[in-house]
Structure 1
């Protein structure tokens, strides 16, 4: 909400000679790890390699990238036969200055690559920190995180090979980064589908790759017009999913008309407050607006809306075995009384609220009000169908906050907090019987995004 921001901290290293991503990412909260992707292949073609596991994984990734883009690039508008990159460089910044034989183009000294990976267009090379970055990616998010980072950097090389007219030279950085995220999504889909010689992963690996993208997001409040802007978490996972669910041509067609949700702070007070509302202040601020928006949507469709009560107690409903909906539950009327949203503030909700940010709680509240709206419209509230529609409606509400009769707006980091929660937990996607709409963070974020982009009509048509 306005003034309610808690970032996954990202510190981006700015290399003056580069125009691509290079970010270190200390991350708050729980990581989302994926399984092993591959045992790797011989990395001897990588300059400066130590032959270890990280570079074997990088080697498998780069070889599969070369093979994939060797087939895909010529078929794209403006595409030509794929020209291999000039080189790949593995650097251990802790090992001191490299010798002349292993010197890395675009770097003055090895410390400049610490915690980063980058593509240097002037030399047409990709370099990475194998001493810190790759081990941390594998430890925190699984092997697929290494794949997504390198495939993103490879995406910048693809951009240069397609941009024969120089049209991208003056494009906003955030657009170039979104396109590279999209190309990474296309490639990870091939990995997931087992369509490449060396790499394999499952759904958990894809969630791990998305966790890494969230970790690489811009610091909250970064202007989308910033020369180094890479995108917030919502924008980055959106671009990745557009590629994962599409084809290379979808990414290549990205233009200046693409809309981004990233925004800078609108007031000094919002920025200086750190943005995070406490649990009870958030509830006090959101509940009237939830009643307003969902009531309007129900009445617009011919339904009758009675605002649910709000109870701070165990998030359980009569006839259910425990808190099957999670820490926030919507319960149907019992004994002639009104329906109610029950909020368990004694469990893990306060922890997620503090670690992720206040719109983690906001996403849960919005999804339960979505359930109340489904009930008012005589729509299913149970099973995957009910959970999916409720989560989608939470996305639709999130897009509408700050418009119409809303008395407040989302702060710059709030959508990021929502997708971070969705990557980790299925509670916002559960029906009233506890059945989750999706077993992966990828699918939960996809459903939420469908509401953000398509509005409530898309949710009620089915997503």
Structure 2
């Protein structure tokens, strides 16, 4: 978000390097370093007490060391293909064809390891997992990718990786071939191809969540870990969505995944550049790129408040209600109405939005980016909107609505940029703060949705569908 002189952007990149997928291999993590902090629910996804000892024997994997990483990979691959054997005929009207080129585990730390098809040497796989359509194979780095993902995010990260890669195999089998993509790159840009694979991954994870997988299971809490692992592989801030190797920003990736989770594989198969909204944007000015577009904390609060007031005042006016313009009061103390809502709080008795400008909020502003602060502010204006509209300001519906309203404001900035608009990285920051803390989703009693997955889903509903989807009528 910005005025004509300042743009908000992400401050700290989780991803250190730009990804560049080889022309013949569609990769999940090529040329990216994996960083981040493990989140709650990052344990095992393998069902206990199985006859096979808690996983599938990786004997069908080329180059396997028969270790726990490849056993987990083999287990996920087995269930993903089971999912598509059941689902592919329903979606595409023809039988699923198992991946016949094989699966390749590569120890990239071993100079004598055998290079898999579509590569020249083992180091070509380093830090990556990919599907190669010309050979119909899936290959992965078992030394420097999968163990790191497992350590930071749990087994669920491995589930996301392989369901994404086999999603590319689904594309090939459904007729979306590499030749078709190359013949019409505007119709089939890389960001669309990658979003479809993220969507297919989400549909598989939903199948697991519903208890249909033979070997795998996933808890609600582990969905947050899935989201964390997915956004590690977002594009660096400022990447254009038209770039040849674009995979999407954090919002694009989690949005596609949640589309698959909630809408199923048929919806994924129907994604096009016309019906799917991408939010990734490039920097327009060198000065913004040099600073990451970040505004100082105090400037953000001061300059964002009038824009929030204008947007939400209009929303309340359309409902036929009076908008009691809230007063934004930065302070170094606990908000006057208590700390239940977190460091930004709407106080209905005084129509104040108190901003506790002490270490915690400033820490989020610095470590995530300034639209982390912006998201919290927008959500409190959302709570003020519910109050002005005479709607409940506590309970599950209110918790959903404040996030949806914050999303609708964000989406309006994205759709109709004016004096204030979104900058590259803003939506990444929103996704991160929604995953890390529940402040933006709290009602006036301090209660909120338990998972980041649900908080992001409510927020993106507002972003993509507008204020009408928030049901404040």
Give the Cα–Cα distance (whole angstroms) in 2 for the partners of residues 312 and 416 of structure 1: 25
Give the Cα–Cα distance (whole angstroms) in 2 for the partners of residues 191 and 417 of structure 1: 29
> Which residue in 2 is equivalent to 1:247?
264
| Mapping 1:71-220, distance limit 5 Å | 71-77=86-92, 79-98=94-113, 102-163=114-175, 167-169=180-182, 170=184, 171-220=188-237
Larger displacement relative to structure 2 (360-369 or 69-78):
69-78
Shift of the 403–44 alpha-carbon distance from structure 1 to 2, 3 Å rule, reads closer
Give the Cα–Cα distance (whole angstroms) in 1 for the partners of residues 87 and 245 of structure 2: 29
Task: Say yes or no: does 1:11 pair with 2:17.
Answer: yes
Deviation at 1:27, TM superposition (A): 5.6
Give the Cα–Cα distance (whole angstroms) in 2 for the partners of residues 453 and 130 of structure 1: 37
Deviation at 1:82, TM superposition (A): 2.1
1:194-250 CA-partner distances (Å, limit 9, x unpaired): 211111110122111111111110011111111100011101111101111122111
Task: Say yes or no: does 1:448 pair with 2:459.
Answer: yes
**Secondary structure of the structure 1 residue equivalent to 2:358:** coil
Shift of the 11–174 alpha-carbon distance from structure 1 to 2, 3 Å rule, reads same
> Which residue in 1 is equivalent to 2:243?
226
2:385 corresponds to which of 366, 369, 373: 373
**Secondary structure of the structure 2 residue equivalent to 1:249:** helix
Give the Cα–Cα distance (whole angstroms) in 1 for the partners of residues 417 and 352 of structure 2: 23
Q: Say if 2:461 and 2:469, in contact at 8 Å, map to a contact too.
A: yes
Larger displacement relative to structure 2 (37-46 or 195-204):
37-46
> Which residue in 1 is equivalent to 2:49?
none
Deviation at 1:168, TM superposition (A): 4.2
**Secondary structure of the structure 1 residue equivalent to 2:62:** coil
Task: Say yes or no: does 1:44 pair with 2:59.
Answer: yes
Unaligned runs of 5+ in 1: none
1:349 corresponds to which of 361, 367, 379: 361
Larger displacement relative to structure 2 (148-157 or 295-304):
295-304
1:316 corresponds to which of 330, 335, 342: 335
**Secondary structure of the structure 2 residue equivalent to 1:417:** helix
1:163-206 CA-partner distances (Å, limit 9, x unpaired): 17864443110000010001000111111122111111101221
Shift of the 85–210 alpha-carbon distance from structure 1 to 2, 3 Å rule, reads farther
How many equivalent residue pairs?
451
Give the Cα–Cα distance (whole angstroms) in 2 for the partners of residues 27 and 365 of structure 1: 30
Q: Say if 1:4 and 1:277, in contact at 8 Å, map to a contact too.
A: yes
**Secondary structure of the structure 1 residue equivalent to 2:58:** coil
**Secondary structure of the structure 2 residue equivalent to 1:126:** strand
Shift of the 310–21 alpha-carbon distance from structure 1 to 2, 3 Å rule, reads same
Q: Say if 2:35 and 2:232, in contact at 8 Å, map to a contact too.
A: no
Give the Cα–Cα distance (whole angstroms) in 2 for the partners of residues 107 and 141 of structure 1: 28
Q: Say if 1:10 and 1:217, in contact at 8 Å, map to a contact too.
A: no
Q: Say if 1:12 and 1:22, in contact at 8 Å, map to a contact too.
A: no
1:228-279 CA-partner distances (Å, limit 9, x unpaired): 0001110111110111112211111112312211111122222122211121
Give the Cα–Cα distance (whole angstroms) in 1 for the partners of residues 163 and 457 of structure 2: 21
Q: Say if 2:224 and 2:453, in contact at 8 Å, map to a contact too.
A: yes
1:344-377 CA-partner distances (Å, limit 9, x unpaired): 1213111111111111110000000111111111
Deviation at 1:28, TM superposition (A): 6.0
> Which residue in 1 is equivalent to 2:282?
264
Normalising by structure 1, what TM-score? 0.93
Deviation at 1:12, TM superposition (A): 4.0
Task: Say yes or no: does 1:423 pair with 2:438.
Answer: no
| Mapping 1:278-427, distance limit 5 Å | 278-313=296-331, 314-318=333-337, 322-333=338-349, 338-401=350-413, 406-427=418-439
Deviation at 1:327, TM superposition (A): 1.1
Normalising by structure 2, what TM-score? 0.91
Deviation at 1:158, TM superposition (A): 0.7
**Secondary structure of the structure 1 residue equivalent to 2:346:** strand
Task: Say yes or no: does 1:273 pair with 2:291.
Answer: yes
